[in-house]
Chains A and B, each alone.
Chain A
Amino acid sequence: MSVQTKKTALVDKDVWLALCLDLGEQAAEAYRFLDGALGVIDLLVTTTCLQEVWSDLCHVLRHVVVQEGGVVDDRVEALITSIAWDCISFVREVSIVVSSGARDATLADVLRDQHADYSDALLVATAQGCSASCIVSFKESLHECLPVRCLTPYEASIAFNL
């Protein structure tokens, strides 16, 4: 019999986005949590989350370039995707990638009454499937969720004594 003792936290995409895009107070909160967690608890990230971080980064950067009067030509597009790849490499380096399987998809379906957003339900189902101690996210809609508790990075720092 093995007993899982090391704490694990499934970190949602918005924590990574806040850090990479340096989003004011949210970036500071994400940074404090990750700084305390590195080497102390296992950080988990789903493959779906990585894909969402990548595409959100690309979309936001394209939008800002256009906003500043720039043009997203081939050169800029290549630069933007390269930046997003580098961010993904960082996330993979500091965390353990877990994937959502068929059982998670089934459980997500069961959770549809609790979560209007399918990606939320799948995240919770995956967290339960990989026995994560909690989900760390800024997303308020997740914070009422069961069966896995969801904490903000600030709350997680306190809960894990980081």
Chain B
Amino acid sequence: MELDTNDVLENRPRRRGRPRTRGVTTQMNVRVDQDLKVRGDEVLRATGTNPTDVISRLWGYVVRTGSVPDFLTAQEIEEQQNERERLVAAMQEVRGMPWRALEDEAVLQGNGYRPVSLDEVRKMSERGQAVRAREVAQV
């Protein structure tokens, strides 16, 4: 005998203990850093949305796709951290790099005079331009 699936579904007994939830809302309480909340709320206001809308959409996305957005996955977070660490390392490397490079090539001695402020740099830049101008004139 063939089963008519529609018939089966129509006549199936309703499960007890599982209330109908569609259309019914519930409240969620989450704990977040206070400063983070203030700053986040500011951004949401600026974009014309609010925490309820954002949370509803996030839950909708999770249910619809069966996954979490990329920015919430451990891999994405790890990639962002790695990228930040790489840039910080580059920043540490470039700090004072010109002096190290000239010393490595024995163009400068390690104990020579180095500028310590932007005012000195401005004056040096002007004098450096003069040095360059003299060299060009000699050529």
Contact = CB atoms under 8 A, between A and B. Distances in A.
Contacts of B35: 161
Contacts of B135: 72
Interface residues of B, number: 44
| Majority SS at the chain B contact face | helix
Given A58-B128, A59-B132, A76-B107, A87 B116 contact: no
Contacts of B50: none
A34 B39 CA distance: 20
A122 to B, nearest CB: 18
A23 interface: yes
Give the interface residue-count category, chain A: 35 or more
Interface in A33-90: 34-35, 38-39, 55-68, 70, 72, 76, 79-80, 82-84, 86-87, 90
Given A5-B47, A31-B91, A68-B112, A21 B96 contact: yes
Contacts of A98: none
B124 interface: yes
Given A20-B97, A65-B107, A87-B94, A14 B118 contact: yes
Contact of A61 (B47, B95, B126, B128): B128
B62 interface: no
A157 interface: no
A162 B120 CA distance: 29
B1 to A, nearest CB: 61
Nearest to B122: A56
B88 interface: yes
A27 interface: yes
A20 B108 contact: no
A70 B107 contact: yes
A60 B121 contact: yes
Interface of A: 3, 5, 14, 17-24, 26-27, 31, 34-35, 38-39, 55-68, 70, 72, 76, 79-80, 82-84, 86-87, 90, 93-94, 138, 161
Given A59-B128, A161-B35, 7 more contacts: A3-B46, A35-B91, A55-B125, A60-B115, A67-B112, A70-B107, A94-B90
20 contacts: A5-B47, A17-B118, A21-B99, A23-B116, A24-B117, A38-B84, A56-B125, A57-B98, A58-B132, A59-B126, A59-B132, A60-B125, A61-B128, A63-B127, A70-B107, A72-B135, A79-B102, A86-B97, A90-B90, A161-B35
